Every structure is written in structure tokens, then in C-alpha cells.
Amino acid sequence: MTKNIAVIRGDGIGPEIVEQALKVLNKVAEIYGHTFNYTDVDMGGCAIDKWGNPLPEEMLKKCVESDSVLLGAVGGEKWNSVPGDMRPEKGLLRLRAGMGVYSNNRPAKIWKQLADASPLKKEIVDKGIDFIIVRELIGGIYFGEHKTEEENGEKKAVDVLAYTESEIERIGRIGFETARKRNKKLCSVEKSNVLDSSRLWKAVMHRLAEEYPDVELSDMLVDNCAMQIVKNPAQFDVVVTENMFGDILSDEASMITGSIGMIPSSSLGATSCGLYEPIHGSAPDIAGMDIANPIGTILSAAMMLRYSFDMPEEADCIENAVSAVLDDGFRTADIMSDGCKKVGCSEMGKLIISKLSRK
């Protein structure tokens, strides 16, 4: 099979970790007889430096025309003072909107080899942590009207949180469909005791539930969910929620699993062209030192094979290789523990490649 992948290396550690993921993809292509063509795309701080724009139109076009997009990370101190509309993160928001990816799917899973890295008590971790947060990605308060105006001699800032029924329905369906492929439990998270947008959210979820009688739907207020994720994460299978709540809860969920360097994500819309990226940022503090953990990006590439290219065997091949390297005791600095062998970013990439094989 031939697939065209748009590659955004980005800023900070982005280029280092993406490099390892591409090497892994090349080896998988060799083993399974596929061809992966890569098109480089500038986005983020490097695009601001080069083009004066975090995501020029022609770069977005390359992404939309690809079969999927692999992204490292963008942003850094250097661009913190540029105006809001030109910040590296704006490139990311425009990319998501331009690709029409309205669902961000983040697994929160504990790798058995890294159970000690969780900040939670052992008895909580031992019950197992394996759930997915399905977050609405291109609506809600991040995409509503933002303005700051003068009122009665002082500044007033306004950010609008709005959702239509159809926006809720399409993300709700991804939640139900995801639950259907897992343990058939979907928890819808909102703030319906206060917000109108949440009351509509809840009503639409319950309407949809009638079409998915095999999935058990529950409701949870977002503040309670934040507590339950640290108190009893084993209760969750799939969580579906709106943009800002999902942003916060998915970061919390990633913390309880140990290192943010390990966690992949996918963003999908109505087509199979998805955006795949690790959940962490550009980690400017360790950029260029060859010590970043590339596993989140490598697992993002695996998710791309599974969800966009319909290559489950190839995705398993990558995930099994990662597990085998962890079994052998190799760790990057962020996940290092006593008795393990510390390796850098490129060495970790090489080790994973050495474990790739066809079953």
C-alpha cells in the first residue's frame, strides 16, 4: 500500500522525536511491503521565522491533501511575545480546524513496566488504568468569540462557549463508537448544573444513547470527574467531553500514567485523514540534547497505521516492539528508574527498530 504522510517536525524536540518515528515507519514499510511518502510541512515557530506565519495556507493545503499528518510539537519561549494571532499554537488550532478534525482521542494507559512511575498509590494503579478521553476539538470556548473591551472605566474580557446540536452529536457518535469497540461504557462529562451548553450536551448524549443500546451511558460533572480520575481511574472506559474540559482532564489523565513522553493521540473527523501527535509540547528545556523520549511520537505513528491506514497488524508490530524494549529495561531519562538502562532519543529509536518484526 502507498500512503502520503505530511510531516510537521515543528520546534524544540519536535525534529528529534519525529526523526525516530519516521525511521520506525520506514522499517515497518520495509517489513510489510508498503511505501510511505513524506512531505515536509512548516508549522509553528519555525514557520513564523521562515514565512512570518505559523501555518501558511499552502502548508495547510499539503496537510489536507495528504493521507494523514504526523506532528512533533510546536512553540517555545522565542515566540511567546508575538501577537496572539501569530503565535505557534494558532498554527495548531488552524490546522485542526482546516483538517476538520473534531475529535481528539487520547489513551490513558499504564504500561505495566512503568507502573512505578504513576504518582498514584499502588493500590489504585493495581486496579488498572486503561481508558480513552474523546475530546471535542474544534468548537466550544476556544473557537467562540474572544474580545476585551472597556466597560465602566475598566477592561472586560469575554470568551463565548457555544455548541450546536450537530457539533455535539458528531463527537457523541465517536464516543459511542469508540466504547462499542472497547468495554461498552461511555461516561459523558459536562457541567449541566451551571451551563446551558452542558445541558444541551447532556440531552443530545441521551438522545444518541437510544441508538446504542449496547453501550452503557453515564453522566458526570466535570469537577467530580477531575476527582474520580485520581481516586478511581479503573472505573472509566471511554470519556467523552467538550473542548476545554477535555483539554484539562486529558492532561490530568496523562499525569497519572507516568510520563507525558509516552502518550500518543489521534485527531479525527469525517474522513480517514487524521492528525497524529504526542500529547506533550516542544520541551524547549531539553531540545537538541538527544534525551527526549520519542515513544509518544512513535506510538502516534502506530495509531496512524491503525486508525487511518487500516493496518492493525503493523500498528501491533510497533506497540509490541515498544513493549519489548521496555521489558529489556531500556528507559529515556524521563521514565528512568533504578536498575534500568538509560538511553537517549536516537538510541531508543534504534532499539525499537531492532525489535520490529512480522509475526
Cβ-based nearer residue to ligand NAD, 187 or 253: 253
Nearest distance in Å: CB 196, ligand NAD: 30
At 117 the three-state DSSP class reads helix
Task: Examine the residue annotation and report whether 341 is marked as an active-site residue of this protein.
Answer: no
Cell of 46: 519555525
Nine-digit cell string for 123: 493500590
Burial class (CB in 10 A: 0-12, 13-18, 19+), 57: exposed
Backbone angle region of 100, left / alpha / beta, with phi > 0 → left and psi within -120 to 50 → alpha: left
At its nearest, how many Å lie between ligand NAD and the CB of residue 285? Answer: 5
Footprint (CB under 6 A) of ligand NAD, residues 327-346? 334
CA 150 – CA 63 distance, rounded (Å): 40
Q: Is 62 among the residues known to form the active site?
A: no
Between 228 and 323, CB nearer to ligand NAD: 323
- Which H/E stretch holds residue 222? helix 222-231
Instruction: Look up 247 and say whether it is catalytic.
Output: yes
In the set 8, 283, 301, 317, which binds ligand NAD (CB under 6 A)? 283
Stretch that binds ligand NAD, among 48-56, 71-79, 115-123, 167-175 (CB under 6 A): 71-79
Ramachandran quadrant class, 55 (left: phi over 0; alpha: psi -120 to 50; beta: rest)? beta
Q: Is 214 a catalytic residue?
A: no
Site string for ligand NAD, 23-62 (x = CB under 6 A): ----------------------------------------
| Residue of 280, 349, 352, 353 interacting with ligand NAD (CB under 6 A) | 280
CB of 113 to ligand NAD, least distance (A): 17
Task: Evaluate whether 218 touches 185 at the Cβ level (below 8 Å).
Answer: yes
Instruction: State the catalytic residue, choosing from 23, 38, 142, 342.
Output: 142
**Cβ-contact 169, 175 below 8 angstroms:** no
Measured from the CB of residue 291, what is the shortest distance to ligand NAD in angstroms?
7
Contact 188, 220 (CB under 8 A): yes
Nearer to ligand NAD, 172 or 278 (CB): 278
- The nearer residue to ligand NAD, 107 or 296, going by C-beta atoms, is 296
Q: Does 73 bind ligand NAD (CB under 6 A)?
A: yes
State which of residues 292, 298, 315, 348 lies at the interface with ligand NAD (CB under 6 A): 292
The identity of residue 103, as a single letter, is: S
Q: Are 20 and 349 in contact (CB under 8 A)?
A: yes
User: What 3-state DSSP class applies to 316?
Assistant: helix
**Per rule CB under 6 A, is residue 356 in the interface with ligand NAD?**
no
92 binds ligand NAD (CB under 6 A): yes
For the chain, how big is the Rg over CA atoms in Å?
Answer: 20
- Find residue 351's DSSP bridge partners: none
Question: Quick one: 74 or 161, whose CB is closer to ligand NAD?
Answer: 74
333-345 core/surface letters (b: 16 or more CB in 10 A; e: else): bbbeeeeeeebbb
Q: Which of 135, 2, 3, 1 is nearest to 68 (CA)?
A: 3
Q: Which of 286, 302, 303, 311 contacts ligand NAD by CB under 6 A? A: 286
223 is known as an active-site residue = yes
Among the listed ranges 54-62, 116-124, 281-289, 298-306, the one in contact with ligand NAD (CB under 6 A) is: 281-289
**Residue (296 or 349) nearer to ligand NAD, CB:** 296
Residue of 159, 223, 285, 327 marked active site: 223
Q: Would you count residue 274 as binding ligand NAD (CB under 6 A)?
A: no
Residue 246: other Cβ atoms inside 10 A = 25
Q: Catalytic residues, which ones? A: 142, 191, 223, 247, 251
Where on the chain is the footprint of ligand NAD (CB under 6 A)?
13, 17, 73-76, 89, 92, 260-261, 277, 280-286, 292-293, 296, 334
